Amino acid sequence: MDYFAQQAINAIQLGSIYALIALGYSMVYGVLVMINFAHGDVFMVSSFFCFLLLLVLPVPFVVALLLVMLATALLGVCIERLAYRPLRNAPRVSAIITALGCGLVIQNTTLSISPYSQRMPELFTPVTWNFAGLTISSLQILIVGTSVGLMLALDFFIRKTRYGMAMRAIAQDRITVPLMGVPVNQVIAVTFAIGAALGGAAGVLYASAYPVISATMGVLVGWKAFVAAVIGGIGNVRGAVLGAYVLGAVEVFTVTVLPSTYRDLIVYTLLLVILIFKPYGLLGRPAVQKV
Amino acid sequence: MLKASVFLLLTTCAVFLTGCTDPNRDAVKIGMNIELTGEIPAVGASSKNAAELFFNALNEQGGVTLAEGPKKVALIIRDNGGKADQAASVAQQLISSQDVVAMIGPNSSACAIPAGEIAESLKCVMISPWSTNPKTTLDQASGQPKRYVFRGCFTDPFQAIVLAKFALNDLGAKKAAVLYDVSSEAPLGQATLFKDTFTAQGGEIVAFETFTTGDKDFSAQLTNIREAAPDIIFLPTYYNDVPLIAQQARRLGITAQFVGSDAWSSPEIIKLGGADVDGSYFCNHFSTQIATDEAKKFIADYTAKYGQAPDDVAALTFDSCGLITEALKAGGKNDREALLGALSKIREYKGVTGTFRFEPGSGDPIKSAVVLQIKDGAFQWVTNAQP
């Protein structure tokens, strides 16, 4: 029993980190109907921001988290302004290729600066508790707590604020909404800032949990978060969170009951089966194709 | 205007190209196909450093002595990114268009196996300094040894015996768990061979878990291993994966000793792993602590030039360069077939990593291994293992 409980804790930790990254994919898709493939590398570079920050100044966790989120948000806005905005009315394929290109530029820039993996200094020394055969560390609680807190804040932002309302409006109709006086460029920039900032938070938490960081680590984690967003229903913020926890749980519990050699095979087969029955994801709604 | 600029561009290209090839035209060209970027960049860097050290010293003495007189050696270094497909295309490029007489590398087995296939089919000598997987020097189709592919290190079946015996006899372990990267050739081979050997020698494998390249979360597999309560955990994974595995295992409260393969050998493991890997044992090709006189000179020169002691990849690359130079001298010609003929006749070579013995018709040297322990931030020599 405690064995399964321990695996459940592992699944929640993994799911929380996937969720923070998946939100970035889902928000941008919701507003622009564009898959921001650079997001995985933005996440990666944020953990390097955190690494550099700690190298210069050993700040406490909260300060590091906020500073890195800010820096990553700026990066997200810059990418949007320089690479995506000029192509907003170009064919969608061009935008996707540009996103892939941005990701490669970020990854290779990091690679040229730091070809080696780096050991992340500890943001704080985690305390480990053992009870009833379970091992929980304060770090795990912090990761899950920060993730859930940020997700609730985002949910509130989208549902209750004017910017959130503007985002939802643009997601519904990008042609008419500007006519109502909504500053589309500004709202899209804010979307990218928030999406990137969440990726930045994920970068800090990820680097604390898995303290060896490398320039190529964004690829696999980014793909998995993207898969989570699709499973949950891309474009839907709550769906992205649900999809991330489903992915984390499936990954961990597959290893619990079956040989780990087949993990990825089983995980992705299962996820494909979900998509066969729910083609728009768990919480997604069928998109209405406008002519 | 356009015509003029195109002409200008072409002339600059032409000048640039002739400028590039000129100094190498008369030199003996040796290609390097190594992992400068990707998952294991420290391996490629060590290899490059050692080869440059070797050939710079050789060129200062006039170069390699062939029948027509001494010739300089030019190294052509290419990055394979630690990826199998890129390693194959780099091999193709070095052999076909750069016209090298021999190729050093790749080091990782995942890269060395496909590159070896290319070298064999294009009939060019290749020496992999560090690839321990048996498949590197075996022809996949016929199961016979390849003619053109050699290596500078012992092979995985030998390493598995060394580690299984060490775990059973020296560490007194009865139950072992294994966690490895199932998508990479060397770890996969080492894990399977260790499992067979450890069981055959009377031990028990209580958990056999895998992950895939790029994974950073091992909590699910490690929770399985914790349930199995092993005495040791065998981690035949590269130096960049070990620190995260060790850290997550310790956080889960696993206290079992870690044992690793030669894939651990980069000093990066100490920097990345810290206290979590302290006390762990692994099998290696070379120890700076039991060096012969030639090895001491190599260690001193390398340390003076690069500011850190050479790891085993550096030492094995140095020996691979030595083997090629010896064979070039014996063959007397800047020619692939002459080099192969001479290299195949070498029966014994004394290098910085010990004595190489070659059986006729085999590119695998028979040589001894060492077991090292990571202790107080350094690799400490523990014992030798003879073949």
What's the pLDDT score for residue A121?
87
DSSP, residue by residue, B176-238: EEEEEETTSHHHHHHHHHHHHHHHHTT-EEEEEEEE-TT----HHHHHHHHHH--SEEEE---
The residue with greater pLDDT, A91 or B205, is B205
A256 close contact with B: CB closer than 8 A:
yes
| Percent of chain B whose pLDDT exceeds 70 | 94
Q: What is the mean pLDDT of residues A166-177?
A: 86
Task: Compare all CA atoms of chain A with the CA of B188 and give the residue at the minimum distance.
Answer: A261
Q: What is the pLDDT of residues B150-184, one digit of tens each?
A: 999 999 989 998 999 999 999 999 999 999 998 88
* Cβ–Cβ gap B37/A252 under 8 Å: no
A125 close contact with B: CB closer than 8 A:
no
What's the pLDDT score for residue B12?
52
Is residue B20's pLDDT more than 60? no
B210 close contact with A: CB closer than 8 A:
yes
Across chain A, mean pLDDT equals 89
Question: CA B159 → CA A32, A44, A209, B174, B181, distances in Å?
Answer: 55, 36, 33, 19, 18
Is residue B266's pLDDT more than 90? no
Which of B40, B182, B195, B217 would best serve as a mutation to test chain A binding (most A beta carbons within 10 A)? B217
Name residue B180's beta-bridge partners: B210
Q: What is the mean pLDDT of residues B318-345?
A: 93
A252 close contact with B: CB closer than 8 A:
yes
* Cβ–Cβ gap B224/A6 under 8 Å: no
- Per-residue confidence band for A34, with pLDDT thresholds at 50, 70 and 90: confident
What's the pLDDT score for residue A100?
93
Q: What is the mean pLDDT of residues A206-216?
A: 90
Task: Compare all CA atoms of chain B with the CA of A254 and give the residue at the minimum distance.
Answer: B220
* Cβ–Cβ gap B214/A217 under 8 Å: yes
Is residue A201's pLDDT more than 60? yes
A263 close contact with B: CB closer than 8 A:
yes
Q: What is the pLDDT of residues A4-16, one digit of tens each?
A: 888 999 999 999 9
* Cβ–Cβ gap B217/A126 under 8 Å: no
Chain A residues within 8 A of B251 when measuring between CB atoms: 126, 128, 135, 137
- Per-residue confidence band for A32, with pLDDT thresholds at 50, 70 and 90: confident
Residue A186: exposure state from Cβ atoms within 10 A (0-12, 13-18, ≥19): exposed
* Cβ–Cβ gap A216/B182 under 8 Å: no
Is residue B3's pLDDT more than 60? no
What's the pLDDT score for residue B9?
54
Predicted TM-score (pTM) above 0.95: no
For residue A286, being part of any structural domain is answered with: no
Across B161-181, b (16+ Cβ under 10 Å) vs e yields bbbbbbbbeeeebebbbbbbb
What's the pLDDT score for residue B387?
78
Give the domain range for residue A193. 2-277
From CA A290, how far away is CA A153, in angstroms rounded? 32
For residue A246, being part of any structural domain is answered with: yes
From CA A8, how far away is CA A253, in angstroms rounded? 8
Is residue B1's pLDDT more than 70? no
A122 close contact with B: CB closer than 8 A:
no
- Per-residue confidence band for B37, with pLDDT thresholds at 50, 70 and 90: confident
Which helix (H) or strand (E) segment is B272 a member of?
helix B268-273
Lowest mean pLDDT among A25-34, A50-59, B51-60, B97-106: A25-34
CATH assignment of the domain containing A132: 1.10.3470
Amino acid identity at A183? P
For residue A146, being part of any structural domain is answered with: yes
B211 close contact with A: CB closer than 8 A:
yes
Task: Compare all CA atoms of chain B with the CA of A219 and give the residue at the minimum distance.
Answer: B214
- Per-residue confidence band for B314, with pLDDT thresholds at 50, 70 and 90: very high
Q: What is the mean pLDDT of residues A170-183?
A: 86
Is residue B11's pLDDT more than 90? no
Q: What is the mean pLDDT of residues B270-296?
A: 90
Q: How many domains does chain A have?
A: 1
| Percent of chain A whose pLDDT exceeds 70 | 98
Chain B residues within 8 A of A256 when measuring between CB atoms: 220, 223-224
For residue A73, being part of any structural domain is answered with: yes
What's the pLDDT score for residue B19?
47
What's the pLDDT score for residue B21?
47
Measured in angstroms, the CA of A252 and the nearest CA of chain B are apart by: 5
Q: Pick A255's closest partner by Cβ from B39, B220, B243.
A: B220
Task: Note which residues in 7-46 of chain B have CB less than 8 A from chain A.
Answer: 36-39, 41-42, 45
Interface A–B counts its CB contacts (< 8 A) at 91
For residue A291, being part of any structural domain is answered with: no
For residue A287, being part of any structural domain is answered with: no
Q: What is the mean pLDDT of residues B241-255?
A: 92
Chain A residues within 8 A of B221 when measuring between CB atoms: 255, 260
DSSP, residue by residue, A82-134: IIIGGGTTS-HHHHHHHHHHHHHHHHHHHHHH--S-EEPPPSSPPPEEEETTE
B3 close contact with A: CB closer than 8 A:
no
Q: Pick A117's closest partner by Cβ from B211, B226, B272.
A: B272
Chain B residues within 8 A of A206 when measuring between CB atoms: 216
CB B175 within 8 A of CB B203: yes
- Per-residue confidence band for A290, with pLDDT thresholds at 50, 70 and 90: very low
* Cβ–Cβ gap A216/B39 under 8 Å: yes
Query: Torsions phi, psi of A283, nearest 5?
Result: -115, 5
Q: What is the mean pLDDT of residues A67-88?
A: 94
For residue A282, being part of any structural domain is answered with: no
* Cβ–Cβ gap B221/A255 under 8 Å: yes
Q: What is the pLDDT of residues B182-201, one digit of tens each?
A: 888 888 889 999 999 999 99
Q: Are strands B232-235 and B354-357 parallel, antiparallel or unpaired?
A: unpaired
From CA A253, how far away is CA A7, in angstroms rounded? 7
Q: Which domains does chain B have, with CATH numbers?
A: 2-153+291-367 (3.40.50.2300), 156-284 (3.40.50.2300)
For residue A288, being part of any structural domain is answered with: no
Chain B residues within 8 A of A261 when measuring between CB atoms: 182, 210
Q: What is the mean pLDDT of residues A139-152?
A: 90
Across chain B, mean pLDDT equals 90
The residue with greater pLDDT, B255 or A1, is B255
- Residues whose CB falls within 8 Å of the CB of residue B70, separated by 6 or more in sequence, listed in order: B62, B63, B64
- Per-residue confidence band for B205, with pLDDT thresholds at 50, 70 and 90: very high
A138 close contact with B: CB closer than 8 A:
no
Q: Pick B214's closest partner by Cβ from A14, A135, A219.
A: A219
Is residue A127's pLDDT more than 90? no
- Per-residue confidence band for A152, with pLDDT thresholds at 50, 70 and 90: very high
Q: Provide the token pair at B38.
A: 């990707």
Strands, E, within B231-333: which ranges? Answer: 232-235, 257-260, 281-284
* Cβ–Cβ gap A119/B219 under 8 Å: no
Is residue A200's pLDDT more than 50? yes
Rg (CA), chain B: 22
* Cβ–Cβ gap B217/A14 under 8 Å: yes
